[in-house]
Structure 1
Amino acid sequence: MDTNQIKETIEMISEENLDIRTITMGISLLDCIGENTAATAAAITRKITTKAAHLVEVANAIESEYGIPIVNKRISVTPVALLAGQDPHPDFVLLAKTLDEAAKAVGVDLIGGFSALVENGCTQADLALMHAIPEALASTERVCSSVNVGSTRAGLNMDAVALMGQVVKEVAAIKPENAMKLVVFANAVEDNPFMAGAFWGVSEGDCAVNTGVSGPGVVQRALAQHPDAPFQEICEVIKQTAFKVARMGQFVGQQAAERLGVPFNIVDLSLAPTPAEGDSVAQILETLGLSHVGTPGTTAALALLNDAVKKGGIMACERVGGLSGAFIPVSEDANMIQAAAAGQINLEKLEAMTAVCSVGLDMIAIPGATPATTIAGMIADEAAIGMINNKTTAVRVIPVPGKTVGESIEFGGLFGRAPIMAVNDGDASVLIGRGGRIPAPLHSFKN
């Protein structure tokens, strides 16, 4: 790097909120399956505390040596529903507590993988895990959970969709903040380093390191220097900026992997906002020329941003993976919070935006009285968008008991503040109650 590039990177970190949002170590637990849950739990503890023993130490050393902020250190593991083995009555709450204690022992912020992959149907273990999610999240601090209910290849498991609508309600009824740690997916990816949806897929290796890089402020500042540029030039600016950001993620990931003695896997270049001033994806869209996020044209602007970020990132790294693009969580984005509180953006517009961004309806607070069937309907809608468009979509909504539209809930820190958003008062119960499956689309058959 020449002097100007070094200076530019320093400015990105000090002035534009550039950071490594996470170093996530993926650990396969398939070799931990024992004859019963207790034996499995003991093996899980041994493996995690061995493989990740130095993860936080190494991340802190890299942060100190190079002056690059590494915000989170995390672990993702094999979907826990797969670890039931021969135990006819697996204790998934025990496994959740085991993951939590292991995460605390090695000092990571979060551990993901209390998960089930049920797009093609549910085993007894899958059902047991899904029913255990409310207690598991209530009795742990660092465990995150996800369930994949659909895919382009398999269609939508509507029985699982209906169940997860109820599970979301039960999780939030105990403590609304627990719902922040639960995501319902379609087309979930196996190498995602971002929480709450991270898990380590069965096609991954025994252990590897992924990095997640985020820099909405860097992109916004670059675009602000081209106020009258045509779209072709705007796309080029975003690509070049994403390239620089992704190179930093590649460097940090390789350093961490080498020091930990494990392979380096992927860089996830996702513009993940925070409530901090100048760290907003919505502000990028407004810099492109919208009076506020939610204005007609928002979906087109987001499509441009998402595509240009991917194009820039993929040229910068050996392997780009995870979700990579732009996230639109309401509570974690300062400008999105303002728009939601002012009624300038609604759930229907957010749903439209999810057709072109990296994830889906994310970190959205809704009235506590919202029926479970309505939440299931929201999950079904998002999963359908993912299934038809061959992309990852997800729902992370928080029904807040006792709160209604016009109020808000404070989460604090990176999770921000969520205005309670209005939900369509129609009744989806008959639709959701049909059960069964929505078949995969015609274009899923590509053999």
Structure 2
Amino acid sequence: MINIFEANETNNMIENENLDVRTITMGISLLDCIDSDLDRLNQKIYDKITTYARNLVQTGKDIEAEFGIPIVNKRVSVTPIALVGGAACKTPEDFVTIAKTLDRAAEAVGINFLGGYSALVSKGMTKADELLIRSIPQALAQTNIVCSSINVGSTKTGINMDAVKLMGEIINSTAEATKENDCLGCAKLVVFCNAPDDNPFMAGAFHGVTEADAIINVGVSGPGVVKHALQKVRGANFEVLCETIKKTAFKITRVGQLVAQEASRRLGVPFGIIDLSLAPTPAIGDSVADILEEIGLERCGAPGTTAALALLNDQVKKGGVMASSYVGGLSGAFIPVSEDQGMINAVNCGALHLEKLEAMTCVCSVGLDMIAIPGDTKSTTISGIIADEMAIGMINQKTTAVRLIPAIGKKEGDVLEFGGLLGSAPIMPVSKFSCDALINRTGRIPAPIHSFKN
């Protein structure tokens, strides 16, 4: 039973410490929509999404009103479209028609984002996979709500370097195609290693083929809550520090569990997972970097940052798994630059660089996220950054991702302004030394020796 003290404590977290449920995401399988006729395929996709998700937004609002818990986003993820569109799509433009259909369906049901304009190519690319990937710049330039993700590696299969090379080119092309809108298309495009099937967070969400016909996944967030809790034990030893984070993560996750169960019941859709991530926003006091500094760093990026982040990530997971039987997605601490004011401050004062961020991704929840780079960065350099991050994920048997934004017409030291949840991004320097010869090799990097488990 929840007592009055715990109820008041949760209310204080919501009112003063930026606690929220970041998203309710309905996953919808489109496998039964597959058709060799492109028009029929698009109609089936539109009909299924608008049928299953028609009450999603209102249900989220009703839960918010009844329980007083902010639910920031209501989203949908779908089966990777390369799998769904393969029979009907013969050109990249054919796939763009599906992106537009997804966008129309998303607008019709009123959601914030729709994920799943995706391909899974960790070992090789089918013709459909390649066509979808080549359609991404046009698709993201001509839609508002659709998000795209490409999985190019895994611990089991290695890294598809042909796909890594192609994605470097696609990211630059997407930036160019959306340059009139601050290169926003790249903020809706992520490259993965070991992508999970049940991630509720954008831009990487898709509905895995192992999932049910429809599910409800919920992502919770509360960096501000963790920071406030740690302020009360400032100077204490590591045991007290860890216990405080675990207990706080447990409380945050219980809020998400409540929302997930209610949404599942009211929508008549099975509950999938809780993603117990600390996902920051540009709001003051809602920063993962601030937590790391509360742990004992002068600035995020100082020596000890990776150790502090490892501790935080692990304790969040340990506390969260006690609060829900079904934990999944990415789960842990996100370290996006543009969406975290503390990270932005650390970059601006010279404490945090791309190389340090890469080291931090070895222990964080996802990877190099929402990082703006100079607009003249070569495609092969972008591919090299992707390859490095994929290698970290592959070797460490964890999910890693890259969401880079080449800021067309801007250089190191400038700022890219998105506004809203995406915030603003200081443009970070990238190494000028070439990796062309590496990226221009063909084939794939083999899976590591420890992948051979059968």
- TM-score per shorter chain, which class? over 0.9
Scaled by the length of structure 2, what TM-score is found?
Answer: 0.98
Partner of 1:149: 152
Distance (whole Å) between structure 2 residues aligned to residue 137 and residue 254 of structure 1: 33
Distance (whole Å) between structure 2 residues aligned to residue 402 and residue 262 of structure 1: 46
Scaled by the length of structure 1, what TM-score is found?
Answer: 0.99
Shift of 1:125: 0.1
Distance (whole Å) between structure 2 residues aligned to residue 209 and residue 406 of structure 1: 41
Partner of 1:65: 66
Distance (whole Å) between structure 2 residues aligned to residue 299 and residue 270 of structure 1: 17
Distance (whole Å) between structure 1 residues aligned to residue 53 and residue 270 of structure 2: 13
- AA partner of residue 233 (structure 2): H
- AA partner of residue 453 (structure 2): K
Give the percent of matched residue pairs that are identical in Structure 1 and Structure 2.
Answer: 62
- AA partner of residue 37 (structure 1): L
Distance (whole Å) between structure 1 residues aligned to residue 82 and residue 34 of structure 2: 11
Partner of 1:48: 49
- AA partner of residue 428 (structure 2): M
1:88/1:226 Cα in 2 relative to 1: closer, same or farther (>3 Å)?
Answer: closer
1:339/1:88 Cα in 2 relative to 1: closer, same or farther (>3 Å)?
Answer: closer
Q: Which of 135, 138, 144 is the equivalent residue of 2:138? A: 135
Number of residues of Structure 1 aligned to a counterpart in Structure 2: 447
**Equivalent residues in 2 for 1:184-195, closer than 5 Å:** 184-195=191-202
Q: Is the 8 A contact 2:89 2:95 kept in 1?
A: no
Query: Structure 1, residues 152-210: CA drift from partner, whole Å, max 9, x if none?
Result: 00000000000000000000112211100000000000000000000000000100100
Q: Is the 8 A contact 1:332 1:363 kept in 2?
A: yes
- AA partner of residue 168 (structure 2): G
Partner of 1:23: 24
Partner of 1:126: 129
Query: Structure 1, residues 301-342: CA drift from partner, whole Å, max 9, x if none?
Result: 000000000010001002000000000000000110011112
Partner of 2:13: 12
Q: Is the 8 A contact 2:38 2:89 kept in 1?
A: no
Distance (whole Å) between structure 1 residues aligned to residue 39 and residue 348 of structure 2: 47
Shift of 1:414: 0.9
Q: Is the 8 A contact 1:22 1:194 kept in 2?
A: yes
Partner of 1:235: 242
Q: Which of 162, 165, 171 is the equivalent residue of 1:162? A: 165
- AA partner of residue 256 (structure 1): A
Shift of 1:371: 0.1
Q: Which of 347, 350, 359 is the equivalent residue of 1:352? A: 359
Distance (whole Å) between structure 1 residues aligned to residue 20 and residue 324 of structure 2: 17
Please state whether the residue corresponding to 1:386 is helix, strand or coil: helix
Distance (whole Å) between structure 2 residues aligned to residue 185 and residue 35 of structure 1: 29
Partner of 2:421: 414
2:447 matched to 1:444?
A: no
**Equivalent residues in 2 for 1:67-106, closer than 5 Å:** 67-87=68-88, 89=90, 91-106=94-109
Distance (whole Å) between structure 1 residues aligned to residue 434 and residue 285 of structure 2: 40
Q: Which of 199, 203, 213 is the equivalent residue of 2:206? A: 199
- AA partner of residue 328 (structure 1): I
Q: Is the 8 A contact 1:36 1:85 kept in 2?
A: no
Distance (whole Å) between structure 1 residues aligned to residue 162 and residue 367 of structure 2: 21
Shift of 1:88: 5.8
Q: Is the 8 A contact 1:212 1:268 kept in 2?
A: yes
Please state whether the residue corresponding to 1:286 is helix, strand or coil: helix
**Equivalent residues in 2 for 1:254-403, closer than 5 Å:** 254-403=261-410
Q: Which consecutive residues of structure 2, in runs of 5 or more, have no partner in the other structure?
A: none
Distance (whole Å) between structure 1 residues aligned to residue 434 and residue 238 of structure 2: 42
Shift of 1:232: 1.5
Distance (whole Å) between structure 1 residues aligned to residue 126 and residue 432 of structure 2: 34
Shift of 1:85: 4.2
Please state whether the residue corresponding to 1:411 is helix, strand or coil: strand
Q: Is the 8 A contact 2:41 2:88 kept in 1?
A: no
1:241/1:400 Cα in 2 relative to 1: closer, same or farther (>3 Å)?
Answer: same
The range that moved more, 412-421 or 80-89, is 80-89
Shift of 1:84: 2.3
Q: Is the 8 A contact 2:28 2:49 kept in 1?
A: yes
Shift of 1:406: 1.0
2:119 matched to 1:112?
A: no
Distance (whole Å) between structure 2 residues aligned to residue 444 and residue 31 of structure 1: 33
2:220 matched to 1:213?
A: yes
Shift of 1:87: 2.7
2:188 matched to 1:172?
A: no
Cα RMSD between the aligned structures? 0.7
Q: Is the 8 A contact 2:395 2:448 kept in 1?
A: yes
Distance (whole Å) between structure 1 residues aligned to residue 347 and residue 411 of structure 2: 14
Please state whether the residue corresponding to 1:303 is helix, strand or coil: helix
